[in-house]
Amino acid sequence: MTTIIHGAEIVTVDDWDSVHYDHAIAIQGDRIAAIGPNEALFGQFPQAERIDGTGRAVLPGFANTHTHLTMTLARGIYEDLSPQHRPPYTAGLSPLPLPELSTGERRVMARLGALEALRSGTTLVFEDTNQVDDYAADLAATGLRFVLGERAHDRVGSGIGDPTPFRLDPSLAARALQTIEAAHGKWHGAADGRIQVAVSAWAPDMCSPELLGQLRRLQERLGALATIHLNQIWGEVRAVQAHRGRRPVEYLADLGFLNERLVCAHCRCMAPREEKRLGAAGATVAFNAAIAARRGLSPRIAELEAHGCTITMGSDNMAEDMVEVMRTGLFMERVRRQDGREPTPEAVLRWATRNGYRALGIPDGGWLAPGNQADLIMVDLCRAHLVPVLRVVSDFVHQGQARDVAAVMVAGRWLMRDGTVLTMDEPGLLAEAQAVAEAAWGRLFRRRLDLKPPQGFRPLG
Ligand SMILES: [Zn+2]
């Protein structure tokens, strides 16, 4: 079965950032078969199904290299509750706890996140969570690709960013290591290889040196990817300095934790010597631009990239919209550099697609070329905010919206076409997610009368 999308603007993200206007792309099975002039591909594949791509762009799908899908539960709430960036530092990233969810409720919120990801053109997601087995089957059923990071920590009685003494509970580590192995055994390579399982350490101030050593050895033994939240907030830096007498990157480097298959989320509160050391290890940085902007903190992406880090992009909490993440990243980095030209839209698109795929172990995905994975999206360009289409990459990165994504294909299979999601019951899921969130926050505020609902919160039912 061959499909040809013709008459489209093909954005390849190849080594030359080639763009082919009014061209065709052929897909056979789960691979891209050819890219070329319309008539040439019609001749090459006379039996192919033809899809008119006039007025549309075909791009590689986005790789979101850091998110927590079930935290869609805190949408509209946590965006405005960041910890402060000066002493006194307190534990945790929000003064309001996340309401507890039943397994059924977690599944709903995870599917909501996956739906938003798909709608924004994301085809590969690194989901960092715990008890991923609760909803791995739901994620597999969406048709998207996932790296599922099962998270470990062994500090008790506190959260990220707390410089008070580290209280260790070794039983937490033992349990987490078992859970990671079990998840890996059950899910790694599942759904025709669309699912991978990774080793996840929560954060440097939430993990003892013993646990980080064990996780590193487990990563090696499983041949898996690993991830960690790193230099996320200034409280974390202060906590690691208090506990280990070093900065977070130095702590990890001294333990041998840094490696080329490690995805470091955030990397915002860094000393220049840490940026150098992270780059020398060839680690990947997940530039989570939207949440970074909301927190009022920015990583130094130009420096991290110059030192050798692979720059990728992630959404992190509360949102899965990679179109917004891309543009926010471009804006933030231009403001920080005081440079109205760099980074270019081509560079940012590469971070969000090909770099992410390569970092997550799929070097033949995230860019369009014959023989590569058929993971792609179609963007409707006939929009008041996109016409005239003269330089399509700049046009979409600067002006595009998630709702311009009209179709999504993963491994040669359509997951969304003509604006309709094919693998999820969208209206049903939206209603369910609203009900789950209202019930969960209602339970929390009714049980914890010391907690005040934030400004503008809807009346509790
Ligand atoms: Zn995170």
The CATH number for 7's domain is 2.30.40.10
- Alpha carbon of 415 to those of 61, 116, 121, 357: distances in Å? 12, 13, 10, 19
Q: For residue 121, report the distance from its CA to the centre of ligand 1, in Å.
A: 20
Q: Flag whether pLDDT at 461 surpasses 80.
A: no
Q: What is the DSSP string of 19-68?
A: EEEEEEEEEETTEEEEEEEHHHHHHH-TT-EEEE-TTEEEEEPEEEEEE-
pLDDT tens digits, one per residue of 17-64: 999 999 999 999 999 999 999 999 999 999 999 999 999 999 999 999
Query: Quick one: pLDDT at residue 95?
Result: 87
pLDDT band, residue 236 (cuts 50/70/90):
very high
Q: Are residues 409 and 294 in the same domain?
A: no
Which residue type, as a one-letter code, is found at position 214? Answer: Q
The CATH number for 97's domain is 3.20.20.140
pLDDT tens digits, one per residue of 100-118: 999 999 999 999 999 999 9
Q: Are residues 32 and 96 in the same domain?
A: no
Instruction: Please tell me the number of Cα atoms within 13 Å of 136 on its side-chain side.
Output: 25
Q: Are residues 124 and 136 in the same domain?
A: yes
Q: Which of 316, 336, 359 is the last residue of a domain?
A: 359
Residue 426 covered by a domain: no
Q: Are residues 53 and 92 in the same domain?
A: no
Residue 450 covered by a domain: no
Q: Are residues 328 and 377 in the same domain?
A: no
Q: For residue 367, report the distance from its CA to the centre of ligand 1, in Å.
A: 26
CB 353 within 8 A of CB 62: yes
Residue 176 covered by a domain: yes
Higher pLDDT, 83 or 11: 11
Residue 441 covered by a domain: no
Q: For residue 146, report the distance from its CA to the centre of ligand 1, in Å.
A: 16
The C-alpha atoms of residue 151 and residue 198 are separated, in whole angstroms, by: 9
pLDDT tens digits, one per residue of 322-376: 999 999 999 999 999 999 999 999 999 999 999 999 999 999 999 999 999 999 9
Q: Are residues 355 and 213 in the same domain?
A: yes
The C-alpha atoms of residue 61 and residue 63 are separated, in whole angstroms, by: 7
Strand 49-52 versus strand 2-11 pairing type: parallel
Mean pLDDT of 406-427: 98
Q: Are residues 232 and 271 in the same domain?
A: yes
Q: Are residues 54 and 69 in the same domain?
A: no
Q: For residue 316, report the distance from its CA to the centre of ligand 1, in Å.
A: 5
Helix, strand or coil for residue 264?
Answer: strand
Query: Quick one: pLDDT at residue 344?
Result: 98
Q: For residue 288, report the distance from its CA to the centre of ligand 1, in Å.
A: 9
Residue 454 covered by a domain: no
Would the pTM count as exceeding 0.85?
A: yes
Q: Are residues 9 and 46 in the same domain?
A: yes
Q: Are residues 351 and 309 in the same domain?
A: yes
pLDDT tens digits, one per residue of 110-148: 999 999 999 999 999 999 999 999 999 999 999 999 999
Residue 453 covered by a domain: no
Give the orientation angle of helix 170-187 with respect to helix 209-222, to 10 degrees: 10
How many domains would you assign to the chain? 2
388 preceded by a cis bond (ω within 30 of 0):
yes
Query: Quick one: pLDDT at residue 438?
Result: 97
Q: Are residues 225 and 340 in the same domain?
A: yes
The C-alpha atoms of residue 213 and residue 210 are separated, in whole angstroms, by: 5
For 150, the token pair is 């099962």
pLDDT band, residue 92 (cuts 50/70/90):
confident
Query: Quick one: pLDDT at residue 460?
Result: 83
The C-alpha atoms of residue 146 and residue 37 are separated, in whole angstroms, by: 33
Q: Are residues 181 and 270 in the same domain?
A: yes
Q: Which of 307, 329, 359 is the last residue of a domain?
A: 359
Instruction: Please tell me the number of Cα atoms within 13 Å of 259 on its side-chain side.
Output: 18
Domain that includes residue 417, residue range: 2-60+372-421
Q: For residue 369, report the distance from its CA to the centre of ligand 1, in Å.
A: 32
Q: For residue 41, report the distance from its CA to the centre of ligand 1, in Å.
A: 43
Q: Which residues contact 55 (CB under 8 A, 6 or more apart)?
A: 380, 381, 382
Residue 311 covered by a domain: yes
pLDDT tens digits, one per residue of 374-394: 999 999 999 999 999 999 999
Residue 149 covered by a domain: yes
Q: Which of 308, 329, 359 is the last residue of a domain?
A: 359
